[in-house]
Amino acid sequence: SQTIHQWPATLVQPVGSPLSLECTVEGTSNPNLYWYRQAAGRGLQLLFYSVGIGQISSEVPQNLSASRPQDRQFILSSKKLLLSDSGFYLCAWTRRDRGEKLFFGSGTQLSVL
Amino acid sequence: GENVEQHPSTLSVQEGDSAVIKCTYSDSASNYFPWYKQELGKRPQLIIDIRSNVGEKKDQRIAVTLNKTAKHFSLHITETQPEDSAVYFCAASSTGTASKLTFGTGTRLQVTL
């Protein structure tokens, strides 16, 4: 069966510090990968998605970037965090052939202070 | 792009009563409509989904209806139980290689004893 791992679960970072969140998927190949952000009490905002290694599409201009160095690895980064980057970050994946069913990782609660 | 509106933002029902959450979408090309349940601090979990070639789908106490002409779809939960308390999100997608779901803003359902 397929599983998705995301870490860390919680992170407290000072303003201006760098960020790296990692996500890996097991049990499938060539997945579509996504990063979503959820502000406190708000909906889910798509930040980035990727259909393959090195292929990244950005949905919202922001202080963040994403990379996909391996087929089942997706990384969210920032060089300098802003207060507004605080939120619950969720990695997600879909199968390439049945692309609709979206499955989420356990999330990272990021607090920028 | 797609815009999904969800109502109500909060809903309180007594145990055993029914709950209905409604969503509207703007893109007539959308053809896949999932619903997610998110408990506090947890990842969103897919609970039911429907495609545009179907008007209704039921899974035990949960059902979803779709009206393509009016571009709205609804989640119905019957015989509500305390464990149904959570935030529910609707979403819409026009399927493609990378399925980009647009989410509603969520409904916080509280089932009281």
Q: Which residues pair with A13 in a beta bridge?
A: A112
Q: Is the minimum CB–CB distance between A108 and chain B shorter than 8 Å? A: no
When the pLDDT of each residue in chain B is averaged and rounded to a whole number, the result is 92
Q: What is the pLDDT of residue A29?
A: 87
Bigger pLDDT: B48 vs B99: B48
Place of tokens 């529910």: B88
Task: Indicate yes or no: CB of A43 within 8 angstroms of CB of B93.
Answer: no
Residues with Cβ within 8 Å of residue B58, at least 6 apart in sequence: none
Contact call for A99 and B98, based on CB within 8 A = yes
Which chain A residue has the Cα nearest residue B42? A106
**CA dihedral for A32, A23, B47, B73, sign (positive or negative):** negative
How far does the CA of residue B42 sit from the closest CA of chain A (Å)?
A: 6
pLDDT tens column, B13-64 = 999 999 999 999 999 999 889 999 999 989 999 999 998 888 999 999 999 9
Q: Which of A32, A57, A106 sits opposite B99 (nearest CB)?
A: A32
Give the pair of three-digit tokens for residue A3.
């599983």
- The whole-number pLDDT of residue A110 equals 95
In this complex, the residue of A49, A104, A105 whose CB is nearest that of residue B100 is: A49
Alpha carbons A89 and B85: distance in angstroms, whole number: 22
Do A99 and B41 make contact, defined as CB atoms within 8 angstroms? no
CB contact A42 to B (< 8 Å) = yes
Is B106 in Cβ contact with A43 (below 8 Å)? yes
Q: Where are the alpha helices (DSSP H) in A1-113?
A: none
B96 contacts A106? CB cut-off 8 A: no
Interface of B with A in 21-40 (CB under 8 A): 32, 34
Token representation of residue B70 = 């009016």
Structure confidence by residue, pLDDT tens digits, A3-15: 899 999 999 999 9
